[in-house]
Structure 1
């Protein structure tokens, strides 16, 4: 049997087209090396080829083995956790809605269905194609922020974009910067000073909105992905510190030159001394503390006056559900979200492709930051900011954004045994 017929027989047993191409390349290279070694031993071309093929064994058995090793993978554990959280995301409708439960459920169902479909499409999408745009992802992100600065509306002190039935802040640009960083940090020709410039330019635009939470998320994403890149760790630490100092000095400079606004100072003091500002910015802190203290382990009826907590279905949905359904439900909800984060960590360790690994690291940091900050905010550990709890809080764009992150991780996991690349 010659080499071409052998490879054809092996390929017939491999169901995945992607895996078939990978195996053909690997076996072809292996056979070439074996043939060259046999020719050096004195065999002619035909004899060397036949003997090399014979050493490979049965093509059918080899094809079946390669099919098991290289078939696309589906992370059913992550999918299960994702779908379970999506189901839990329906709970606030039945707890807090009364007059418009059916309409709210329908709207949530449609958005959730779109989010699941979006994650499924991304899972089967070849994520390697995303790196072709490179720094173009930054340019698109900068364009969105610039458009928001020109035509957006100011809501709670930061710019908000209204896109048809959807309204969102500039956090929608974070996945774009994530994709850009993943490609940039895989480019060994990229110098550290260029990374610093990209970080500072983007940070400046974000601060102009001004949205300090998005600035914080962008900074953390950059730092975590940079740490997972090929750059020397000492350079990473010093460059990150310098960039952070310079980036943080921008809002400080604005405050000192134009003067810190009264509501900004009040918010800061309310976090430090909430009781003194219970009638203004400290109201949320006081009310959240009352809800925490009044929460039992199981369900309890809502008071006739309601929770009296604004954003009880968005930013403060965790503590609102905890008060109503008890700490038992809170442990299940928080535990499921943390399990999903742990699952992403496991995926990071199993992915060999450097670009894919960086994508998962970025998605993990963005998703985990939202979860940890929202839970910490509800438990009184962090200052109150506009941070939604993924898939649980009301909000169309946050569902789509986080579903996209899950789909991206599933896409990388699916091809983790189909792509040969140097590990970071």
Structure 2
């Protein structure tokens, strides 16, 4: 870094030095600092400031507001580094909850107290029509702010990430809702002959996520081995659908399906081919979605959730599509299947995640553990 000292009058000096290229735009950055004292003292201050910035401790004197920085962060970093769905969510959170409250604050004057005030206000009246915003949603706001302000600190725009000084509100534990066997039977009977039936059966029988199921193509189904490959997911953003890779390598997996579910899929394909032939489309090719819409294209994830919710309302059953995944896992746990196999089957990044989400269900097997040890001690006593 280079710089120089220029007299402004009397004992006043202007210290000028380079900060280096702007990380966001690549443009040259110059810093000006007013100083009073002797020329020698001003030169020493220049040397100190240059050394401070070279060590990464300096702060960009930009007068940007929080809103202005966020706009640049969205455009120059988030757009290139996160997926469309995540970007859409970031923009929504920042637009609805951050910009209206602290957007006008100079980013270098932003303090932890500002964020605490924002979170408190959102919890009281940040929702629709002035209703309280959930702690979970406020937590999402905190996480996107933490990420953006973390970059502001890394890039020298601010001296520290003030979001790291603030804790988001605690989120109450929510009970995972799972279906009983009677409810599963009622749902399948209610959906008989409807286009919802095949995918609901698949989600119940595999524990797949909604987007994963909607992205499966007929070429991924092996009826000889009763195995379905899950290698991609369908993501919906405003006005578009896109197929993307799983978040982790564990998301790519092969899932063995039961003979009952395999028969469901065969019947579904026969009905789908019959419909396609009636429309003059020919039989479904291998790259056609298994759970396609009437036109053979990918089915909308949000529309699927809406249709399922309507069916559950008609049955007076409290369950979401994701609840089918929980129900699948609960059945496996109740049957005594080990956590590693369950984790691999449902595509978790590690068994630790499975244990964290479903630990309360595994605790129900403690009585079985006591029974196992009782049988062991009985054998020992018999040999004494």
How does the TM-score come out when normalised to structure 2? Answer: 0.28
Greater fraction helix: 1
- Greater RCO between the two (CA within 8 Å, min separation 6)? 1
Indicate the structure (1 or 2) with the bigger Cα radius of gyration: 2
- Greater strand fraction, Structure 1 or Structure 2: 2
